[in-house]
């Protein structure tokens, strides 16, 4: 059984190199990222990995996730189809902090063709360093879900 505090990471081929870099960087911050693939540069379809990681968030296997593709966009579109998943594409650190504090985002999407490795590291650190503030934001986040 996976530790429910586990943070998962996945990518497509375009995001693979940045994903590997993030796994190594996170290790230095004593944060373990569970790699859901892919393992090599073979061309893959980003929704397959977005769905895999998002299912783990919905089931409670992972508390947070990071998805890396060329732009972060396709990953976020696919991940946001899953119940309870709030995936945010972030290209700078302010949005990464707000995504956690105000939107209770549980998946961070990065564009490896958009941000450099240094900025990507800062974005991930900011995302992981902050928690949801709740309060008035909880009411608004609840309203994101479609009424059943």
Binding site for ligand RB5 (CB under 6 A): 12, 14, 46, 69-71, 73-74
Q: Is 13 a catalytic residue?
A: no
CB of 94 to ligand RB5, least distance (A): 22
Give the residue with the Cβ less far from ligand RB5, 114 or 141: 114
Q: Is 69 a catalytic residue?
A: yes
Burial class, 91, CB count within 10 angstroms (exposed 0-12 / middle 13-18 / buried 19+): middle
Q: Tell me the residue number closest to ligand RB5, measured at CB.
A: 74
CB of 60 to ligand RB5, least distance (A): 26
CB of 54 to ligand RB5, least distance (A): 15
CB 70 within 8 A of CB 112: yes
Alpha-carbon gap, residue 77 to 85, rounded angstroms: 11
* Active-site position among 13, 51, 102, 130: 102
Pairing, β 33-35 against β 87-89: unpaired
**Which regions of 44-97 does DSSP assign to beta strands (E)?**
64-69, 87-89
Positions marked catalytic: 69, 102
């Amino acid at each position: 059984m996976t530790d429910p505090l586990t943070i998962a990471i996945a990518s497509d081929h375009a995001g693979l190199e940045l994903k590997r870099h993030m796994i190594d960087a996170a290790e230095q911050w004593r944060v373990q990222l569970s790699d859901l693939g892919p393992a090599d540069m073979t061309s893959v379809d980003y929704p397959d990995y977005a769905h895999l990681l998002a299912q783990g968030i919905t089931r409670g296997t992972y508390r947070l996730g990071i998805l890396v593709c060329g732009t972060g966009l396709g990953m976020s579109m696919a991940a946001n189809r899953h119940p309870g998943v709030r995936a945010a594409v972030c290209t700078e650190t302010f949005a990464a902090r707000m995504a956690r504090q105000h939107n209770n985002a549980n998946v961070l999407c990065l564009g490896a063709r958009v941000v450099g490795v240094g900025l990507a590291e800062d974005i991930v650190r900011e995302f992981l360093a902050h928690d949801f503030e709740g309060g008035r934001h909880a009411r608004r986040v609840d309203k994101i879900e479609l009424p059943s």
